[in-house]
Structure 1
């Protein structure tokens, strides 16, 4: 036994005794032996005991020098030991899998990360910690790469020791034996949870920015330093889609906005100004650029407000096109209304002048009537009374006749003064209401002119505001006055009707009528203007229907004021 290495002699003795005890069994062992020069070699011996022809036991021994193999195995064990030490101290999660796709190793960092044992993770046990939403994708990626013997990488959520899930980036590569044969896979994982959170925050920020952009009605795009369109909002995309014929200056992501400008509007002065404004902001020579421009198509006229502002902390600009067509149209309409207002102002000034002239004429007429008529008649009465005073005592019959004549003259004078006061202000309106006052005026008009006038009243409110009653009465007076002066009529109909909403008046005659267009186109009389202003001022209207030789009908309607209801 001395030839065996002293560390192996006991084991060699046990193996030899076992072989002698079972002579028919084939025994194999590996031990170190010592040469005569003191060097050691590893041998593999296969031993079997057999009987010779004489029945004696003979040992058949086959010996193989395995020193190189043992050195290789020792070196491999040292390498694996170093690998495990490095793997367990590396700041990454490491795993290994064999030819059957099952995992055969996880480093200590992996086990510490997941809080599980090696036995729990081996094989497919590691998949228990993968998030349910990621497991199918992970298996598919792993199996497909394994079948093709290709590297792979994937990201998934792995449950940590505290029960929370962390995101890991897993990269696997094929490994091979020294002979070049495929031996399985080895992979490393790093925790990318913070990166995923940052990406989620960035995505949320991008989503918020996109939501803000898409909520804007303006057409917005972002240009890079070369003028390329980096992003656009939905309003821009929709407008570009509708006007893909190039009528308007719009492009898609990836297009060069400057090229669009040069092809469409650069030949115009406004186009050159817009292009220069964008370039100035992009170069930093201007802080912003604002420009309004017209962009009409055969179908419609449109106006836009373009605003260019620089991107903060980046080389580029933000361009927004806001459709201001409605505002421009309103401006144009306001200009037209301003012109109409000027015309109305002139018309009002003319009306004011006419009113002043009418007031002066009315004052002159009243003064003339008072001087030429009433004053003369009063003077005549005074002369009569003075004559009676100077005349000697006359017969009673004569005095009675003179007094009767004076009484008649005084009564007529009193009636004429009443008519004058009535024309100035119909006090009857205040005491009996519109319907009775209108009926009385129509009767007086018929008596004075001798015309056939019919009056009908229907559901006229008993109480009306003084403004409504007075203005309708004035319209009636003016309408009958026009019939008397101009119509040459023989028959007149006056209707006064009321409802819960307002009161209406119509005056119709069978006179000669007139051409309404010519009347409107020409200078309106003060009477018609006065009637229109009276009804319009109270929220009502005045309609005139007339044709030559077909008579005239004037309709007025005024709503009841709130206090009347």
Structure 2
């Protein structure tokens, strides 16, 4: 019997063929202008060409898609193209009605034919276009369900077919309104019939999906629906048609006809329902009986599954569901109803290493519609663990042969896997031990035939495995040993283990000694372990020979040799020991040897002897032992433990030497060492005192050197520099009076010579003793030094936040000279053009100066004493000696390729800072002068050199608006004269005895801030100018430029004040 769903698919094919054949017949009738089509019904000839084309396309698409199992990719694409084109035609027709346009498709196939005079003679009816659009959409979405499982194609086909069926009922009853809407064209009989068939064919093509599955179900609902549906559809139509036909023929009136039709329908439906109820009752009773039997079988089945640690599962491939039985959920440690019910949820439980293999196995089985089996590891949920399962399942196809379901069973094979693993591991361990054993192992039957041998036995005997397996035990025994084989067999048959030494023949004919241990097994085979003792035999013989040689050698050596067991008792002493002590060997063995130890040494020596034996380690003892002449000699006794091959201690071997002469020599050496240490101590103290005197002398020499350098610098500054300045002033006065060009050139040349001499004098004064160090202190001196190093190609940055330092003058000089020497070291050796100086004060009152560079650096550990003291190299020793002489220290940090950092640290003193305290701001400048500008300006000249003052006076007296009212030779005199003379301008030298020009300027301006102070100095240094301006001076002029600039400076400053 053909299954119902296949019958419906054939109905779909017949509907498709009808939808194709009828349009083709109509085309033939049009081609030959046949009139026989209208003989059936007048409306049959009214079908429109565009309607005909749309039906033909839908029928073609349905024919390609009617057999689901035979649909190809090309066929599906062609069907979709036909359905899409039908939708396009229907859509264009509806657009023409809605928007009152003509897209030109109405007159297709009508050219040259007589057409009626209607407005649109070839246009498809609106209802026909709607049905065509619905059927086309149904065909396009035929195999595309929604997310909720419903198929929109079935609803579209049902609606389209229903509209066609209603039109047919209209033709059957003669009711025009059922197949004609308003003034639009009607649905022809052909169109209604074919569209109804196409809609029915679409539903029948997929009978097992969507709501059609309910119709095809074998459940009670499906059976009842299939039996009732034909009557529910066709019975009312038939009854209505009979009533109308009979009424039109005059057999009865309208009311009677309606009543008769209703009564007939009710009677037939009641009869049908009565028979259906009886049928359902019988079916339900049979199902209950079968269900009871199935429940009993399921109960027994579940008991069997539970006892066998297995469970069943069912997978629906259409619904993508996977259902576990309760036994299977318990097997996976899942709570009841907690499984995810999908194949993906099952894969989540599978071990990651087995997951791909499981997926491939299931996919291949579904593709081949076959059974499958596999084993895999899974994760149990409760308690969390890993288990092994075996799966056996069958893929079940539907009536069309497509895979629809999978039913199978899963077994818990964890214990079996563990047993298999344990057995396999045991076999592997046995085989590994069998093959890797250091002894030969053989197995043989009672006839002596070898059954199995390991690699060691093959190697030991020189045969291959196959050769040995073809031999018997007797083949390997030496001829004189074969008579003993019967003894072995008797011992084995009596259940005893045989152990003994044997001589066996190797393949190459040589003999080997083996130690054999054999035992008969319950299965009748006997196993033997062969240990090659050939080398041991040779070693034992060699050991005996070696021991004899050792005893001969020990007796011949003058060293006292002894041996003791693990119990500390002496077991052997050589001849030298016996001759040394003069006692018999029997008296010395055991503990007897200890009687010869000196009473004062005995307790200590024996205690150490016993303690070393307890720790089982080498030891060394010194004690006095009585000699054969009754005197005691010093003995150095050394011993080492004797061990076996397995590391266990068997005793000690010792050797003793008479060290009496060495002891006497050590005592003499100790006496000499004490005397030497005393002499070294005395010499060291003298050397320390000499070093202190030398360091003090060096400090005095350094101070003397600095004093002499300062004296020379003072002489140069106070006399030579001043003479040069005065000479330049005189030349400056003479230049305007020279009329002849040659004389002017000579004066200019002389002025250049004096300028060079003055510059050289300044440089020489700075080299000998920088005045900035004595005037402004160490911070300013280091900054000045950084500027001077530029002339040597070294850029130095100075970092400090200190202005005043309570540092003694000699300490400041040493620090300055040390930093200067370190900077020149950088120029000579560092290979860099940058360095830095950091000056700071530590919390423990130390002045810290760090000189750093990023040059090539060096390894301090590799410096020799010559490197430290060589003037041409680093000279660090000299710097260190200077710093240590004033109580400071030097720290060196240098690495090759990463530069050098040297830190000098000198303790502070509580004396006044050698640098003068500078004002933080200039004094308030006067708003006006006491004398009006029209009067002559009163000038006070201040300089500690009379010739300079005379030179300045001669320069200023040349100007009528200036009047020199007084002169002062030092700062204190200048302050008092300024108070008494009330000058307008004070020309103030900076370097003067008692009170210098900077301090004198502060005092004068503090008393009279209207006075204009002009700073004057031989030095042309920026820091000197800054210090003078900070004290309140209005302008700064060097002495060498005074002849030219002093008058202009006085006048311009006074005018600016006015």
Both structures adopt the same fold (TM-score exceeding 0.5): no
- Whichever structure has more helix as a proportion of its residues is 2
Whose Rg is larger? 2
- Whichever structure has more strand as a proportion of its residues is 1
